[in-house]
Amino acid sequence: MIEFKNVSKVYPNGTRGLNNVDLRIDDGEFVVVVGLSGAGKSTFLRSINRLHEVSEGEILINGESITKAGGSELYRIRRDIGMIFQNFNLVRRSSVMRNVLSGRVGYHSTMRMIFGLFPKKDKELAMQSLERVNMPEKAYMRADELSGGQQQRVSIARALAQEAKQVLADEPVASLDPMTTKQVMDDLARINKELNMTMIVNLHFIDVARKYATRIIGLKEGEVVFDGPVEEATDEV
């Protein structure tokens, strides 16, 4: 569960990225955040796992304040939150397997990451994660040998291997063609249903949002201007 308690974010130059956002996202929801460029979608997502500090208010993750968390607490809370980015954020020269295993890096020392000393159990979990996105046969290819859509599915597998409870996806299909967009969104939807993993996805296009979301949050100039089920969302949100 994610709770925003009167959250505002003002950037150092005075721009208001979020204005008094107060809402709750329950486990298992598929939330799509829509809004024009500059509406605050990225600011909203980045606030959730504290990639930046908010200016006012508080955010709770599964009942714990990430806003007030100290070093080791912050680390622990973030373990539950998977991230998916527009440009995939994979280590391009590493294998797919290594990239998926990096989702478990919080559980391991850097030495393990460098020398590839992962317990068998982790490798099995990574392989199962790749199977869920239909990519097991790509495990030992280099990440940069894959197409854009395939790379995005690797980053989904990385969140699965992390055993994230919530996944934040910032414009995950913005650089993909319509066919690939459908594959990636279908994967997210299937994982949301099968594993009850909460999805919070920023999207440009309301038509894609309609097809997948259980709930739409519309932002405009940092304010929530719509929050409700897909059926009630008009094309303006």
CB 72, min distance to ligand ADP, A = 27
Q: Which C-beta is closer to ligand ADP: that of 35 or that of 82?
A: 35
Using CB positions, name the residue nearest to ligand ADP: 147
Tell me the backbone φ, ψ of residue 233, rounded to 5 degrees: -80, 130
Q: Which residue has the tokens 């809004």?
A: 35
C-beta closer to ligand ADP: residue 13 or 72: 13
Q: What is the DSSP letter of 94?
A: S
Which residue carries 């989904």 as its tokens?
Answer: 156
User: Closest approach of Cβ 108 to ligand ADP, in Å?
Assistant: 29
State the minimum distance, in angstroms, from the CB of residue 99 to ligand ADP: 15
Quote the Cα angle for 47-50-55, to 5°. 60
Find all residues with CB under 8 Å of 197, minimum gap 6, and list them: 28, 164, 165, 166, 167, 191
Structure tokens at 28: 């298992």
Which of residues 20 and 62 has its CB atom nearest to ligand ADP in the complex? 20
In the complex, the smallest distance separating the C-beta of residue 136 from ligand ADP, rounded to whole angstroms, is 15
Q: Nearer to ligand ADP by C-beta: 231 or 236?
A: 236
Nearer to ligand ADP, 125 or 203 (CB): 203
SS3 of 102-138: HHHHHHCCHHHHHHCCCCHHHHHHHHHHHHHCCCHHH
Binding site for ligand ADP (CB under 6 A): 11, 13, 15, 17, 35, 37-43, 144-150, 180
DSSP 19-47: EEEEEEE-TT-EEEEE-STTSSHHHHHHH
Shortest CB 185 distance to ligand ADP, Å? 15
